[in-house]
Structure 1
Amino acid sequence: MTPPNDPTSLTTATPDQLRLLTKIAVLYHEEGLAQGDISGRLNLSQARVSRCLKLAAELGIVRTSVVQPAGIYVGLEKALEEKYGLQEVVVADMVDDASLGMRLGSCAASYLETTIEVNDVVGISNWSTTLLQTVEAMRSRPRKVLSEVIQLIGGVGSPQAQIQATRLVSHLAELTSAKPFYMAAPGLVANNNIRQAFLDDPAVAATAEAWSRVNTSLVGIGTFPASPLWQASGNALTAAEENELLESGAVGEICLRYFDIDGKPMNPAIEERMISISSEAMLQIPRRIGVAGGMRKLAAIRGAINGGWVNVLITDSEVARQLLEPPRLDPGAPASRIR
């Protein structure tokens, strides 16, 4: 029997046509028969069976639905990518504050392992517990998977700051068989003369020169006022410098480069004694990965993505949802402080 002409819509289809389309769809999608088997059973050509399956989908008889498992937020990620023009967003399930760092680190490690390439030059910030957890969650590779790992900001200050900075760079370089570049200098020094003296040192100069080769940055997003980890690093701001930034509306920093809620660089006087990749150089890096979560960092994360300081964001589901909402004033804070 020759089937009737193909319908163009459900309203123009006859009951016989709908029955045929539905029967073929059930045999293929629910009973798992191959198109050749359906062809033999219904005495139709295989081309006709294929055409009917296509029609069943076009007319809505067959509908494809993707069921996202619990803790997976592809829709939320896509919405953030579209709203902020981000290359990619990875959202970790927010279970509790205690496990947040480990969840973010695990997601960031998985993202890096699947996207880094052998010719990539990765620049990494320090003073970030989340970045430490990221590197520690990565698996060692038997072959070279990165070219260079370069420290983007000085790490000498307190012994804790120096150890953490060295550990981040050395461990990531070891895992990926990359060449490490360390910044053997403080993030902040007393004045510009001392800063220049450090930059004249051959080892420090070699790392600073290597910043121009970075094509992927991996950074934490710092809050302002600073986190306890930063305050304990031995590279703290003076009270006057903090007040200047506060009055200017600073909400966060990356590698000591401060920005407001719109992502505008602050360019404070502190930069004259800073040993860190410049804002201009940082914003020119093609892939800028920021790993940060927790509601206390909401304003800093919003500023970072507004200003393009990061174009790949790895954060938690609670922060991700809030980023889709308009920013609001932080009660009790100056008018410039927005969350």
Structure 2
Amino acid sequence: MKQAQSTSPKNKRDLLVKIAKLYYYEGLSQQQIADRLFMSRSNVSMLLKSCEDNGVVVIRIVDSESKAVDMAARIKDKYSLQDIQIATSHSDPEITQDNAGALAAAYLERHLETGMKFGFSSGRINLNIISHLDFSDFVKVDSVALSGCLSGKYSKYGNIEIAHSFMSKLHGDAYTVNAPMMVQSKALKTLLLQEPLIQKVFQQFPHLDVALLAIGTAKFPHRMAMHDGQLSSADVLQLIEMKAEAVICGRYFDIQGSPCNAGINERILAIDLETLKRIPLRIGVAVGSERASAVKSILRSGYVNALIVDEFLARCLI
């Protein structure tokens, strides 16, 4: 009975699908699949061929490089960008994120030189970028966090931890705003800006040569949790009324790319927009088609002049 069940059409197709996923999705070799499924390598090879014969796997040759070049040219022209890089998308979002990180790292390696100052905003993409940074020649570049901290809890995505990681790759000094990105009142912000340690960080902003800006979506009410409670209910209601669509460095923008003139702007410890726009190279980074509206907003704002996205997101922009 077991032998008959194992060779039924349904079970055979299930086996073909399993082998195809191991080979094409997870990247296992034929020998690794054979070891995992307790069969011979020649049997795995035969079954992979059967995947094609039975329509489990359909192989198409697509000139993805020329398509990416065409998409990049259209987006660059549409939004008047200096440059755009498009990373390969994958069915696994984590792989897509890593692909974008590798592309951003390579881009920074081409543009950062000794003596420069490099600013970065908060975003999980930073970890992917740092893991791929590998300069062929020694550089000494200062890294500067563009805003205060999002949370009081330790996080591998936190500005202090990210600044330290960038410092290990860039060999320069690291500057972080050791205070919340959003404080309780305008008066408190004024007092904090008088602190010498915080002043020293803000004094770096006008001298930045390159800024890396993670483009975030303005989704409510989840945004409250992401800011560790720094956004009040009144803040959220005001941003919703202003149709906030995107956020960079704690600054919100509507779909047309206009900055939201919200009350929180008086309480944010971050680079101001005028100073940000004077940075020569401002690289926006985003991954995933769900960020399309946010990226369009920031592109229309003019606060980024270079862009790194994945293929799925790039298609949405044109």
Q: Could you say which residue in structure 1 is the equivalent of 2:247?
A: 253
Q: Could you say which residue in structure 1 is the equivalent of 2:269?
A: 275
1:82-161 matched pairs, under 5 angstroms: 82-96=77-91, 97-126=93-122, 128-139=123-134, 143-146=138-141, 148-155=142-149, 157-160=151-154
User: Residue 158 of structure 2: which of 156, 161, 164 is its match?
Assistant: 164
- Structure 1 residues 132 and 172, CA, compared in 2 at 3 Å: closer, same or farther? same
Per-residue deviation, 1:160 = 3.4
Paired with 2:112 and 2:229, the residues of 1 have a C-alpha distance of: 31
* TM-score (norm: length of structure 1): 0.70
1:314 and 2:308 equivalent? yes
Residues 156 and 185, structure 1, Cα contact 8 Å, conserved in 2: no
Give the secondary structure class of the aligned counterpart of 1:200.
Answer: coil
Give the secondary structure class of the aligned counterpart of 1:296.
Answer: helix
1:263-302 matched pairs, under 5 angstroms: 263-302=257-296
User: Residue 74 of structure 1: which of 53, 57, 69 is its match?
Assistant: 69
Question: Aligned AA for 2:77?
Answer: E
**RMSD, aligned CA:** 2.2
Per-residue deviation, 1:281 = 1.3
Q: Pick the structure with greater CA Rg.
A: 1
Per-residue deviation, 1:265 = 0.7
Paired with 2:146 and 2:224, the residues of 1 have a C-alpha distance of: 16
C-alpha deviations, 1:224-264, integer Å up to 9, x for none? 02696873442531111111111111101100111111111
Question: Aligned AA for 1:306?
Answer: R
Paired with 2:221 and 2:317, the residues of 1 have a C-alpha distance of: 21
Give the secondary structure class of the aligned counterpart of 2:108.
Answer: helix
Question: Aligned AA for 1:269?
Answer: G
- Structure 1 residues 228 and 247, CA, compared in 2 at 3 Å: closer, same or farther? closer
Residues 223 and 253, structure 1, Cα contact 8 Å, conserved in 2: yes
- Larger deviation, residues 70-79 vs 294-303: 70-79
* TM-score (norm: length of structure 2): 0.75
Structure 1 gaps, min length 5? 1-66, 325-339
- Structure 1 residues 227 and 214, CA, compared in 2 at 3 Å: closer, same or farther? farther
Per-residue deviation, 1:320 = 0.8
Paired with 1:121 and 1:316, the residues of 2 have a C-alpha distance of: 27
C-alpha deviations, 1:193-221, integer Å up to 9, x for none? 21122211111110011111112110101
Per-residue deviation, 1:115 = 2.1
- Structure 1 residues 213 and 306, CA, compared in 2 at 3 Å: closer, same or farther? same
- Larger deviation, residues 193-202 vs 210-219: 193-202
- Structure 1 residues 89 and 156, CA, compared in 2 at 3 Å: closer, same or farther? closer
**How many residues are treated as equivalent by the alignment?**
256
C-alpha deviations, 1:53-84, integer Å up to 9, x for none? xxxxxxxxxxxxxx956597112111111111
Per-residue deviation, 1:119 = 3.1
- Percent identity of equivalent pairs: 26
Paired with 1:75 and 1:164, the residues of 2 have a C-alpha distance of: 36
Per-residue deviation, 1:161 = 5.1
Paired with 1:236 and 1:255, the residues of 2 have a C-alpha distance of: 14
Paired with 1:72 and 1:139, the residues of 2 have a C-alpha distance of: 28
Residues 72 and 93, structure 1, Cα contact 8 Å, conserved in 2: no
1:241 and 2:235 equivalent? yes
Q: Could you say which residue in structure 2 is the equivalent of 1:51?
A: none
Superposition misfits of 4+ residues, deviation over 3 angstroms: 67-72, 160-163, 226-230
Q: Could you say which residue in structure 2 is the equivalent of 1:194?
A: 188
Structure 2 gaps, min length 5? 1-61
Paired with 2:128 and 2:156, the residues of 1 have a C-alpha distance of: 17
Residues 282 and 305, structure 2, Cα contact 8 Å, conserved in 1: yes
Paired with 1:94 and 1:316, the residues of 2 have a C-alpha distance of: 6
- Structure 1 residues 297 and 224, CA, compared in 2 at 3 Å: closer, same or farther? same
- Structure 1 residues 165 and 243, CA, compared in 2 at 3 Å: closer, same or farther? same
